[in-house]
Amino acid sequence: MASNLDIGIDLGTASVVIYGKGKGVVLNEPAVVAYTRDSRNVIAIGEEAHRMIGRTPSSVVAMRPLQTGMVPDLELAITMLRYFVRKAVPKRLIGGPKVLISVPNGVNEMERHSLMTSLFEAGARRTQMIERPIAAAIGAGLPIGEAYGEMICDIGGGVTEIAVISQGRLIVRESIKVAGDQFDDAIIRYLRRKHNLLIGELTAEDLKINIGSVLPRSEQFYMEVTGRNLITNLPKVMRITSDEITEALDEPLQQLLEAIHDVLEHTPAELVADIVESGITLTGGGALLGGLSDAVAKSLMMPCTLAENPQECVAIGCGLTLENWSEYSRFLSDRRRR
Ligand SMILES: Nc1ncnc2c1ncn2[C@@H]1O[C@H](COP(=O)(O)OP(=O)(O)O)[C@@H](O)[C@H]1O
Ligand SMILES: [Mg+2]
């Protein structure tokens, strides 16, 4: 039997998630490529490349091809995409699967076209794009086909997309470069300022995931981290508290809240009334940050819910669309293919 696994792909700024039709999520890896600086030989992709961030010799670069939601290096993005597709669908795609892919909003038409062409070359029979907020909303289980306003806020690594959807259409949409990475950066800046301690990106992310919360926790948590004392230039171990992380996260939190507020301001009144009633839905890995849905609800004075499996919602939305093609494919036409 020909291998004919139709797949949905979430090509994100921090991770790539692939959903196999009828199977569920079959791949979820960091969107990282490591290559040699001189000859640009790719030496690792995914998990393995991720461990190299901040740990490579100067001859090796470990980077995320879509980090800021744009594509600074199309060739690397294509190499990574094809690698993951081959890994998720081990046999060659000769059977001709259908591929539904979602990319960050900042990816331009030319780059979208090149990414889709590369999927054809990998053997895909048909490739279509789905707008990220639409996929996220479907993956979160929102009934987007109705004449009713739903607000989705997908918080990824480099980009947050905020959108209002009604009757399967994007009514208002905004993307901002305040997402998981900016929360990590805020932690790095805070510890440098307060303790003269320089920590790496992966350590900052660990602090955020393990003890971070945007609202003060009822119980204080601690984590020991090793960084560099910027006065002595020597390694230094410090115990960081969750309250400190809360303080560090305040600036990007306020920016995020402001952006959501902004989108609501540009939303027609009837739809705002719907959203006040049904609430804002958070998706994306960044939405897992402690206290975030409560902080959004409190600040905007409306319900806010964290979707189930938020980090996989976009891929699940792509997969559900493939599985319910006759019902959901009408949501695909927002951006014409050229
Ligand atoms: N438990 C967690 N708490 C806080 N942030 C998290 C958690 N798990 C993942 N993240 C963050 O989610 C972000 C990645 O989200 P993801 O949806 O995979 O990104 P993208 O869609 O842009 O590829 C990263 O910044 C990561 O640190
Ligand atoms: Mg995501």
Cβ 252 under 6 angstroms from ligand 1:
no
Cβ 284 under 6 angstroms from ligand 1:
yes
Query: DSSP secondary structure string, 162-198?
Result: EEEEETTEEEEEEEES-SHHHHHHHHHHHHHHHH-EE
Measured distance CA(20)–CA(312) in Å, rounded:
13
H helices of the chain, in order, are 47-51, 74-88, 109-121, 132-139, 180-195, 201-211, 242-265, 269-278, 292-300, 313-323, 325-328
If you measure from the C-alpha of residue 325 to the centroid of ligand 1, how many angstroms do you get, rounded to a whole number? Answer: 29
Q: Look at residues 231, 257, 242 and name the one whose alpha carbon lies nearest to residue 290.
A: 242
Cβ 46 under 6 angstroms from ligand 1:
no
Contact between residue 150 and residue 278 where contact means Cβ atoms under 8 Å apart: yes
Contact between residue 70 and residue 107 where contact means Cβ atoms under 8 Å apart: yes
Residues above pLDDT 90, as percent of the chain: 87
Strand partners, 155: 160
Residue 231, pLDDT > 90, answer yes
Domains of the chain with CATH codes: 7-133+314-332 (3.30.420.40), 143-178+249-311 (3.30.420.40), 183-248 (3.90.640.10)
Contact between residue 31 and residue 16 where contact means Cβ atoms under 8 Å apart: yes
- Summarize pLDDT for 43-98 with one digit per residue, the tens: 999 999 999 988 888 899 999 999 888 898 899 999 999 999 989 987 655 567 89
Q: How many CA atoms lie within 13 A of 28 on its CB side?
A: 14
Measured distance CA(36)–CA(31) in Å, rounded:
17
What is the average per-residue pLDDT within 263-286? 98
- Whole-number pLDDT of residue 143: 95
Residue 334, pLDDT > 50, answer no
List phi, psi (to 5°) of 94: -55, -35
Cβ 205 under 6 angstroms from ligand 1:
yes
- Whole-number pLDDT of residue 188: 98
Our mutation pick for probing the ligand 1 site, out of 289, 293, 306, 313, counting the most ligand atoms within 8 A of Cβ, is 289
If you measure from the C-alpha of residue 38 to the centroid of ligand 1, how many angstroms do you get, rounded to a whole number? Answer: 31
The tokens describing 113, both together, are 């076209």
If you measure from the C-alpha of residue 229 to the centroid of ligand 2, how many angstroms do you get, rounded to a whole number? Answer: 34
List phi, psi (to 5°) of 65: -60, -25
pTM of the predicted model, to two decimals?
0.95
Given strand 169-176, what is the order of strands in its sheet? 169-176, 160-166, 150-155, 280-283, 304-306
The tokens describing 185, both together, are 């950066």
Which ligand approaches the C-alpha of residue 186 most closely?
1
User: For ligand 1, what atom is nearest to the CA of residue 159?
Assistant: 22
Residue 264, pLDDT > 90, answer yes
- Summarize pLDDT for 151-209 with one digit per residue, the tens: 999 999 999 999 999 999 999 999 999 999 999 999 999 999 999 999 999 999 999 99
- Whole-number pLDDT of residue 57: 87
Contact between residue 321 and residue 8 where contact means Cβ atoms under 8 Å apart: yes
